[in-house]
């Protein structure tokens, strides 16, 4: 192994990796370290839920609950600070993060984003202090990914101007609803019927408990019971049997019933309205992606610290000591690529949060696409990383006291909630195809496809594919080569997706079926796009940094990241003749030497993740 | 999707997939279904451990405990039946399987395999009935994978002919020991010192509780506490402070202290002796592999049945119903390749069990290599499959009542215990290199490498690499093509491993370091070998079957398996110019059509797995 090359200052690196709110993040983590329950114990769900609720109340007391709301309601209008708190909670205990997210992000966020002044004035202050606890009733037993077709109805009564919320079937029950047991008010998503016309999904404030916590009549709440993890969250199911609410309880930013009982909306197209309303979820998706990454980094820091002290097998009979786990090449190959991926995805998610914070309405669709894709890629990485780290700690990783059990079980659902990852990746691909998606139903479809095919085709020719056999280390480590190689994969996959669709359309395959037949390809293209996005975002981040050893390290991290992607997808480059076998072999060699270099920075890099020792202890 | 081609009889297919003991397996599963605890509840570890112990006692009452022992001790000398019971328990509850395995397989098995008649007469009958509960004390806190360097000592006392068992340090404590809390006798592995000479690791019977269950003096037992899963197993730690035992308590099949106090052994070479003694583990490894596969098939059956009734999104606005999950290509791609892999690995493990049952001493080394590799590949597959199945069931997969939580948590340690998978894969690779491993320290090393390189090189030339561009479906579905393609990968990787080692040796790199530098490559070569082994075993199995629709289905399964491996490793074939891009693209197409064909058999195939509905319920 080569010697260390530069003096990394972990505190400087930490600030770079965590972004603007690093100090707030430190505060939150340190504040909660003392409240954290003993990992080695098992709790009943009631005990655990009570504890988690107490923690969230403590956070509210410190003013963290209302951060995203306006000043009038105790907040700072700072969604980015809210996200920073969410991230920090994810390091300490994912239950804290999720409970916090449900109360302030989903329940409070829905009122904030979908409601108007009346709703803000009525609910936000109490929500921020937790004197009002609420839940977010979107998912139903029958409809999770397909929110558009949920069954719950909200029928406007012209007689008395009220609205009736109703669950027409058992499968219309609101499902997996966090805060269902502790809460007393729900934001319920339902199909709004006015004069027998369905205006699509809208959100309504529906109280379901009285001041004393007793369930109101004709409402059923059922505990979801024990789950794989997150047993500190009180997930439940809710059914409504003809529940009357005042018309004012419609969160009416994007849809309203006027005094004459007519439906009005600032967005005429029902489809568009639906997607704008669901856009309220985008912050949640970024949070879930970041939560997964933070949990993965806790697992990673734990496994790496353990690997740097645990010894097994002598390298040589003459040696006094056995070898450190971290010195095994297989161990480095298991962990280091996952470590750099987590770092790069976190940077990318932070960039997106910052964009979102200052975004104009027109930017939102692109931000949503990116958030969906980064959420999926980040949470899949989290699941994989936590698993790999557990295995890398052997039997010790299996004992509850050492943390992996909770990290794994609690984070497992991240690939599903706030959007199933596979479904999200298709959203991303559809976003990429947007330019000709519209044309799908037009006569101009073929022309559009052809145009786009040619446009990207031209772009492709920019790449010097004569470099397919160039194998010098200098070339392979060159940022232009890396960046163009990632770009080639993204563009090529979109072209080939478009080609495939064109062929289906020529064969008169209906549009939906063409999408279906291209589904696997779509997910791959979306991955190529998002993986490259994270690389580009990290380049942008690097470009903002003054020259320093830490900047150099981040460059190395991004280079290692790019090489690991090329390794992951080398079949693609070979299959499309972008590289030949001599080149992929040379890349493997460079990849190993870059990994060996990264190894020399490990102690400082682990410290830069900003995870206190209390969270990364393997008990002897 | 194409129409179904042949009338599969699930009961016939079940017999083919489960092998000779299918009836016994049915009996065990059905017997235990009624004892199974309610999945939706959470138990304290004490409650759960008591329940699991009761179940194991019931199994002993039915005569299942002693199956592997001789008739004189209540058994049938039928290790293969013991394994069949272990497999069946894995379907119902992994805690049952592990507790059963610890008591009868590890504790009983060690006495059976390492002891002689005195030990058999004294302990086996009571072990089989559970009137004696015991544990298997091999792993220590400081030494898991590296058993050879455990710290516990067993010192022969020439004065009174006793042996003193001692844990010299805290890290010498026996760790993760199942049955530690319920048991009263341990088989303890320790370094045997006679006349100040260390004769290496041997096993000893060490009582640690009296008849009333009270701990004996100078022995410490500590509960390992809650774990990620398997909380029905009473894992603990044991330390011995100068414990005297009679000389007879040495399990003396492979090492003995004679009347004059001299150490004697039928195996002179200490290294060889160690590996022969550890060979006793080989049955356990097959069991763990099979246990993982059975758990994975429970998860798979659950996810597939759910996918065949769960609907989400309409394929077309005009359609009445939403689409079944199973009809999504991404869903098929996630699940079906894992399904066929689990089937093929199970067949391969069953073949190995049968070989082991009738094996001669000379065959054992090869069987150990295969068992190590199949255990690793099978348990990695299990972890991946259970995860994928959970995600494929969305939120429902996260609720404890639906089984994935326990399957995931309980099976997670399978990649670690009975040998860490990464370490096992290196054993496999070393096994493959055995022919020239000896030569490593000889002058003849280079000559040997050269000889082997040429030998495999010649073999390689048999492959028609001019076929690199042949892309007809007939060719790609041809069993000769598939089998040679898998063979090419295995052979090529061994040659390249040997080349690499030769290069290191020429550069005077010490042998151990050369192994270390080749570690990642070794794991890959081992995987290539084991993956092909499973294919070949399945071909052998197919060859024993009379013509039938079920035989045809198994042929299709094995073909799909081979194609999925080629897809997994297509970068390898491209990189080594065994195929060009047009061929890998054609293979992807064939792969998809084979998958579509497999889809038509799903209902019968799921039933053929022999998993009762009670074990695969997703609650509405």
Q: What is the pLDDT of residue A453?
A: 52
Using a CB–CB cutoff of 8 Å, tell me whether A21 touches chain B.
Answer: no
Of B597, B595, B608, B605, the residue nearest B4 (C-alpha): B597
Q: What is the pLDDT of residues A380-410, one digit of tens each?
A: 999 999 999 999 999 999 999 999 999 999 9
CB atoms within 10 A of CB B616: 21
The length of chain A in residues reads: 620
Q: In this complex, do A228 and B405 lie within 8 Å of one another by their Cβ atoms?
A: yes
Residue A608: enclosing H or E segment and its boundaries? helix A602-608
Mutate to test the interface with B, among A315, A422, A425, A576 (most CBs of B within 10 A): A422
Residue B458 pLDDT class (50, 70, 90 cuts): very low
DSSP assignment of A233-285 equals: S--EEEEESSEEEEGGGB--SS-EE-TTS-EE-S---HHHHHHHHHGGGHHHH
Using a CB–CB cutoff of 8 Å, tell me whether A228 touches chain B.
Answer: yes
Residue A206: enclosing H or E segment and its boundaries? strand A197-207
String of b and e for A3-41 (b: at least 16 CB within 10 Å)?
eeeeebebebbbbbbbbebbebbebbbebbeeeebebee
In A, minimum Cα distance to B176 occurs at A395
The ipTM assigned to this model is 0.94
CB atoms within 10 A of CB B464: 11
In B, minimum Cα distance to A415 occurs at B391
Per-residue HEC secondary structure of B241-282 comes to CCEEEEHHHECCCCCEECCCCCEECCCCCHHHHHHHHHHHHH
Q: In this complex, do B312 and A395 lie within 8 Å of one another by their Cβ atoms?
A: no
* Structure tokens, B578: 């065994």
CA distance B312 to B314: 7
* Structure tokens, A170: 């058992």
* Structure tokens, B379: 């348990």
Chain A residues close to B236, C-beta within 8 Å: none
Q: What is the pLDDT of residue A450?
A: 54
In B, minimum Cα distance to A224 occurs at B399
Residues 6+ apart with CB under 8 A from A452: A435, A436, A498
Q: What is the pLDDT of residue B466?
A: 55
**Using CB atoms within 10 A of its CB, is residue A324 exposed (0-12), middle (13-18) or buried (19+)?**
middle
Mutate to test the interface with A, among B138, B317, B516, B596 (most CBs of A within 10 A): B516
CB atoms within 10 A of CB A215: 12
Question: Which of B171, B401, B512 comes nearest A316 by C-beta?
Answer: B512
Q: Are strands B243-246 and B236-240 parallel, antiparallel or unpaired?
A: unpaired
Q: Look over chain B and give the mean of its residue pLDDT values, rounded to a whole number.
A: 93
Cα-Cα-Cα-Cα dihedral sign, residues B182, B187, B192, B195: positive
Chain B residues close to A413, C-beta within 8 Å: 395, 398
Using a CB–CB cutoff of 8 Å, tell me whether B328 touches chain A.
Answer: yes
Q: Is A322 helix (H, G, I), strand (E, B) or coil?
A: coil
Chain B residues close to A387, C-beta within 8 Å: 383, 387
Q: What is the pLDDT of residue B446?
A: 52
CA distance B251 to B222: 25
Using a CB–CB cutoff of 8 Å, tell me whether B146 touches chain A.
Answer: yes
Residues 6+ apart with CB under 8 A from A212: none
Do residues B601 and B557 make contact, with C-beta atoms less than 8 angstroms apart? no
Surface of A (443-482) touching B: CB under 8 A? none
Of B498, B380, B492, the residue nearest B430 (C-alpha): B498
CA distance A95 to A410: 7
Cα-Cα-Cα-Cα torsion B186, B189, B193, B194, nearest 10 degrees, comes to: 60
Using a CB–CB cutoff of 8 Å, tell me whether A141 touches chain B.
Answer: yes
Chain B residues close to A330, C-beta within 8 Å: 422, 519-520, 523
Using a CB–CB cutoff of 8 Å, tell me whether A129 touches chain B.
Answer: no
Q: What is the pLDDT of residues A21-48, one digit of tens each?
A: 999 999 999 999 989 989 899 999 999 9
Which ranges constitute the DSSP H helices of A393-420?
404-411
User: Phi, psi (5° rounding) for residue A198?
Assistant: -85, 115
Surface of A (149-178) touching B: CB under 8 A? 149, 170-171, 175-176
Separation in Å, CA of B473 to nearest CA in chain A? 18
Do residues B97 and B232 make contact, with C-beta atoms less than 8 angstroms apart? no
DSSP character for A227? B
CB atoms within 10 A of CB B357: 14
Chain B residues close to A585, C-beta within 8 Å: 575
* Structure tokens, B340: 């066929």
Q: Is B207 helix (H, G, I), strand (E, B) or coil?
A: strand
Of B249, B543, B507, B537, the residue nearest B367 (C-alpha): B537
**Using CB atoms within 10 A of its CB, is residue A119 exposed (0-12), middle (13-18) or buried (19+)?**
buried
User: Phi, psi (5° rounding) for residue B116?
Assistant: -125, -170
**The tokens 């299709």 sit on which residue?**
B556
Residue B586 pLDDT class (50, 70, 90 cuts): very high
Using a CB–CB cutoff of 8 Å, tell me whether B411 touches chain A.
Answer: no
Q: Is B384 left (phi over 0), alpha (psi -120 to 50) or beta?
A: alpha
Q: In this complex, do B405 and A41 lie within 8 Å of one another by their Cβ atoms?
A: no
Do residues B200 and B286 make contact, with C-beta atoms less than 8 angstroms apart? no
Q: What is the pLDDT of residue B248?
A: 98
User: C-alpha distances in angstroms, B619 versus A361, B40, B397, B612?
Assistant: 42, 11, 10, 15
Mean pLDDT to the nearest integer, B147-169: 97
User: C-alpha distances in angstroms, A461 versus A466, A484, A491, A578, B283?
Assistant: 11, 11, 11, 12, 59
User: C-alpha distances in angstroms, A3 versus A325, A337, A453, A597?
Assistant: 18, 20, 49, 8
CA distance B560 to A502: 29
pLDDT at B440 over 80: no
Surface of A (531-570) touching B: CB under 8 A? 570
pLDDT at B550 over 60: yes
Residue B607: enclosing H or E segment and its boundaries? helix B602-608
Give B202's strand partners. Answer: B190
pLDDT at B151 over 90: yes
CB atoms within 10 A of CB B557: 23
CA distance A73 to B187: 67
Q: What is the pLDDT of residue B437?
A: 52
Q: For chain A, which ranges sit under pLDDT 70?
A: 1-6, 435-466
Q: What is the pLDDT of residue B456?
A: 52
* Structure tokens, B318: 């005009």
Q: In this complex, do A170 and B620 lie within 8 Å of one another by their Cβ atoms?
A: yes
Mutate to test the interface with B, among A137, A171, A180, A225 (most CBs of B within 10 A): A225
Number of H helices, E strands in chain B: 24, 11
């Amino acid at each position: 192994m080569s010697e260390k090359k530069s003096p990394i200052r972990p505190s400087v690196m930490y600030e770079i990796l965590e972004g603007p709110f690093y100090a707030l993040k430190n505060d939150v983590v340190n504040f909660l370290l003392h409240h954290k329950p003993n990992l080695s114990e098992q709790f009943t769900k009631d005990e655990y839920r009570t504890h988690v609720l107490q923690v969230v109340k403590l956070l509210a007391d410190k003013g963290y609950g209302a951060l995203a709301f306006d000043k009038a309601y105790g907040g700072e209008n700072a969604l980015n600070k809210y996200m920073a708190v969410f991230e920090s909670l994810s390091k300490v205990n994912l239950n804290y993060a999720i409970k916090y997210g449900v109360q302030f992000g989903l329940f409070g966020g829905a009122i904030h984003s979908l409601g108007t002044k009346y709703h803000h004035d009525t609910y936000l202050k109490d929500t921020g202090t937790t004197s009002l606890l609420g839940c977010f009733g979107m998912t139903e037993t029958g409809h999770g990914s397909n929110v558009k077709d949920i069954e719950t109805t909200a029928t406007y009564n012209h007689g008395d101007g009220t609205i009736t919320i109703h669950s027409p079937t058992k499968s219309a029950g609101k499902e997996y609803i966090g805060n269902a047991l502790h809460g007393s008010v729900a934001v319920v998503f339902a199909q709004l019927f006015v004069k027998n016309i369905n205006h699509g999904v809208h959100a309504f404030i529906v109280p379901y408990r009285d001041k004393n916590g007793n369930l109101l009549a004709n409402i059923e709440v059922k505990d979801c019971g024990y789950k794989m993890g997150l047993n500190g969250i009180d997930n439940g199911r809710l059914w409504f049997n003809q529940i009357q609410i005042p018309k004012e309880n419609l969160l009416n930013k994007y849809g309203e019933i006027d005094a004459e009982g007519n439906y009005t909306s600032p967005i005429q197209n029902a489809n568009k309205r639906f997607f704008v309303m669901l856009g309220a979820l985008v912050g949640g998706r970024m949070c879930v992606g970041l939560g997964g990454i933070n949990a993965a980094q806790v697992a990673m820091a734990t496994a790496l610290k353990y690997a740097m002290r645990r010894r097994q097998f002598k390298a040589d009979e003459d040696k006094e000591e056995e070898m450190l786990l971290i010195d095994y090449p297989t161990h480095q190959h298991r962990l280091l690529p996952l470590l750099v991926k987590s770092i790069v995805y976190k940077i990318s998610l932070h960039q997106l949060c910052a964009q979102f914070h200052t975004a104009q309405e027109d930017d939102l669709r692109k931000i949503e696409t990116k958030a969906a894709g980064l959420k999926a890629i980040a949470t899949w990485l989290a699941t994989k990383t936590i698993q790999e780290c557990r295995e890398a700690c052997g039997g010790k990783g299996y004992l509850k006291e050492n943390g992996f059990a909770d990290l794994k079980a609690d984070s497992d659902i991240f690939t599903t909630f706030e959007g199933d990852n596979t479904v999200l990746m298709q959203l991303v691909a559809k976003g990429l195809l947007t330019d000709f998606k519209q044309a799908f139903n037009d006569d101009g479809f073929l022309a559009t496809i052809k145009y786009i095919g040619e446009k990207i085709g031209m772009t492709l020719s920019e790449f010097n594919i004569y470099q397919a056999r160039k194998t010098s280390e200098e070339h392979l480590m060159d940022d232009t080569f890396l960046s163009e190689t990632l770009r080639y994969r993204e563009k090529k996959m979109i072209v080939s997706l478009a080609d495939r669709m064109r062929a289906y359309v020529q064969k008169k395959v209906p549009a939906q079926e063409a999408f279906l037949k291209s589904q696997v390809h779509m997910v791959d293209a979306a991955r190529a796009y998002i993986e490259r996005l994270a690389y580009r975002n990290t380049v942008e981040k690097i470009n903002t940094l003054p020259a320093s050893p830490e900047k150099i390290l981040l460059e190395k991290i991004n280079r290692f990241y790019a090489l690991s992607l090329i390794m992951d997808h080398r079949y693609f480059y070979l299959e499309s003749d972008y590289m030949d076998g001599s080149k992929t072999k040379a890349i493997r060699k460079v990849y190993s030497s870059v990994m060996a270099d990264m190894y020399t920075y490990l102690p400082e890099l682990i410290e830069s993740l900003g995870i206190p020792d209390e969270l990364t202890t393997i008990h002897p």
